[in-house]
């Protein structure tokens, strides 16, 4: 089985770009008229939509949608009395008030959208979830910044009129806000750049069906958050020496105690063949010589915590001291009698107990017959 790589559809730009039309409005309104700023923002909204949807073929970020809703409310209010008396001198403050309310509403209902994304049974949902969480992150910071600036403005308004000057008005109403926006954008650009690097360096797992046919891939860290949602291939190898099985104590989750199982287990990575996966597992555990191995059987393992397509391999070795030279943890060789006396006692992993009966009647039986013949 070979997993062919697919293009990773990672958004090129931070979700902060969804706030660009609003930022353009603030900048233009600071130096030109309200109507010029309005026109510039409308053009920015149209161009952004065209580039994002048609050019880059990406979904519009929630940051863009929330800012567009706020901007639409601003335009509607500017045509309704008595709100129109606030324009154009105080339009930036009015827009900030609308944005604060919009950001606040989004933070309240965001879990609804997140649950909808999680319910979608699609391997592409990891990117939707990543984008949504990134958008939420930007909106929460923008909410805090806007609210803080409004508090500064409110404090400034409490000062007597003789303290108010055109220069100070410009600083309080515009310069401070633009400075906050510049710092926020810089932070988000660095944060998104680091996040993209993390995604590109992520280990990818193939998503398969019960027959092992690959129909997608997903980042390992994302898959872990979904527990049993996706089926991934896992290679397990049992070490056999003269009918004995080598078992070591392993911890399968933070909430479980140590259980005895094979020391060799590894997720098959995307774009790896099974043979490559086996050899890579040997290398990771310090095996410097070629060990003989053969495929035994495949089965689907599922519980409320995990969903795996297990490929079980057997490796017969002649030197029982080999495990001491490898990175296999504390373990020992077990006879079939010792194993059977301790089955169903909670000593072994559920994987091992599920496999042992078939293993005992195939590989171990053949091994016993071969040694009796000799």
Task: Report the pLDDT value the prediction gives residue 70, as an integer from 0 to 100.
Answer: 93
Distance CA 296, CA 367 (A): 13
CA-nearest of 87, 34, 41 to 64 is 41
Distance CA 268, CA 277 (A): 6
In this prediction, the residues of the chain whose per-residue pLDDT falls under 70 are 1-13, 55-57, 83-89, 118-127, 199-200, 225-228, 251-257, 288, 325, 327, 329, 371-374
Task: Report the pLDDT value the prediction gives residue 126, as an integer from 0 to 100.
Answer: 62
Task: Report the pLDDT value the prediction gives residue 179, as an integer from 0 to 100.
Answer: 93
Task: Report the pLDDT value the prediction gives residue 105, as an integer from 0 to 100.
Answer: 94
Structure tokens at 192: 């998104």
CATH code of the domain occupying 208-373: 3.90.79.10
Task: Report the pLDDT value the prediction gives residue 374, as an integer from 0 to 100.
Answer: 42
CA distance readout (Å), 326 to 3, 239, 277, 281: 29, 12, 18, 12
pTM for this structure?
A: 0.58
List Cβ neighbours of 369 (8 Å cut-off, separation of 6 or more): none
**Other CB atoms closer than 10 Å to residue 279's CB: what's the count?**
16
Distance CA 37, CA 35 (A): 5
CA-nearest of 264, 273, 271, 155 to 204 is 271
CA distance readout (Å), 149 to 99, 143, 156, 278: 12, 10, 11, 58
CB 292 within 8 A of CB 316: yes
Judged on CB neighbours under 10 Å (0-12, 13-18, 19+), 293 is buried
What 179-187 contacts at long range (C-beta under 8 Å, 24+ apart), as own/partner pairs, is 180/145, 180/148, 180/149, 181/23, 181/26, 181/145, 184/16, 184/141, 184/142, 184/145, 185/16, 185/23, 187/141
**Other CB atoms closer than 10 Å to residue 89's CB: what's the count?**
11
CATH 3.90.79.10 in the chain is located at 208-373
Distance CA 27, CA 308 (A): 54
Cis-peptide, bond into residue 339, ω within 30° of zero = no
Task: Report the pLDDT value the prediction gives residue 359, as an integer from 0 to 100.
Answer: 87
Task: Check residue 227 and give left, alpha or beta (phi > 0: left; psi -120 to 50: alpha).
Answer: left
CA distance readout (Å), 335 to 68, 86, 148, 199: 70, 86, 70, 45
CA-nearest of 307, 281, 94 to 209 is 307
Task: Report the pLDDT value the prediction gives residue 228, as an integer from 0 to 100.
Answer: 67
Distance CA 239, CA 248 (A): 11
Task: Report the pLDDT value the prediction gives residue 268, as an integer from 0 to 100.
Answer: 92
Tens-digit pLDDT profile for residues 158-195 = 998 888 888 898 899 889 999 999 999 889 888 877 77
- Give me the residues paired with residue 260 across strands: 249, 348
CB 231 within 8 A of CB 319: no
Task: Report the pLDDT value the prediction gives residue 144, as an integer from 0 to 100.
Answer: 94
């Amino acid at each position: 089985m070979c997993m062919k790589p697919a293009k990773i559809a990672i958004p090129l730009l931070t979700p902060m770009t969804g706030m660009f039309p609003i930022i353009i409005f603030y900048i233009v309104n600071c130096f030109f008229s309200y109507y010029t700023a309005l026109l510039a923002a409308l053009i920015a909204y149209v161009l952004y939509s065209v580039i994002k949807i048609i050019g880059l073929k990406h979904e519009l970020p929630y940051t863009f949608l929330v800012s567009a809703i706020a901007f639409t409310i601003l335009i509607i209010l500017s045509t309704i009395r008595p709100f129109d008396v606030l324009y154009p001198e105080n339009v930036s403050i009015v827009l900030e008030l609308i944005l604060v309310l919009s950001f606040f509403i989004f933070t309240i209902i965001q879990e609804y959208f997140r649950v909808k994304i999680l319910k979608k049974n699609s391997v592409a949902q990891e990117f939707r979830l990543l984008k949504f969480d990134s958008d939420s992150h930007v909106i929460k910071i923008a909410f805090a910044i806007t609210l803080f600036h409004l508090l500064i403005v409110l404090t400034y308004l409490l000062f007597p009129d003789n303290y108010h000057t055109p220069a100070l008005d410009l600083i309080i109403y515009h310069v401070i806000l633009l400075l906050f926006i510049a710092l926020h954008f810089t932070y988000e650009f660095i944060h998104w750049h680091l996040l993209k690097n993390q995604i590109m360096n992520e280990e990818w797992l193939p998503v398969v069906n019960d027959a092992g046919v690959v129909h997608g891939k997903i980042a390992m860290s994302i898959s872990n958050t979904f527990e049993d949602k996706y089926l991934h291939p896992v290679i397990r190898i049992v070490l056999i020496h003269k009918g004995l099985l080598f078992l070591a104590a392993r911890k399968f989750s933070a909430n479980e105690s140590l259980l005895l199982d094979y020391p060799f287990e590894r997720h098959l990575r995307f774009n790896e063949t099974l043979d490559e996966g086996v050899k890579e597992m040997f290398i990771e555990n310090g095996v410097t010589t070629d060990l003989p191995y053969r495929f035994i059987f495949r089965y689907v393992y599922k519980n409320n915590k995990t969903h795996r397509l297990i490929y079980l391999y057997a490796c017969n070795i002649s030197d029982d001291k080999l495990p001491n030279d490898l990175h296999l943890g504390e373990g020992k060789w077990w006879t079939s009698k010792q194993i059977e006396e301790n089955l169903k006692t909670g000593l072994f992993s559920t994987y091992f107990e599920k496999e042992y009966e078939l293993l005992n009647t195939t590989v171990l039986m053949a091994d016993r017959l071969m040694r009796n013949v000799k």
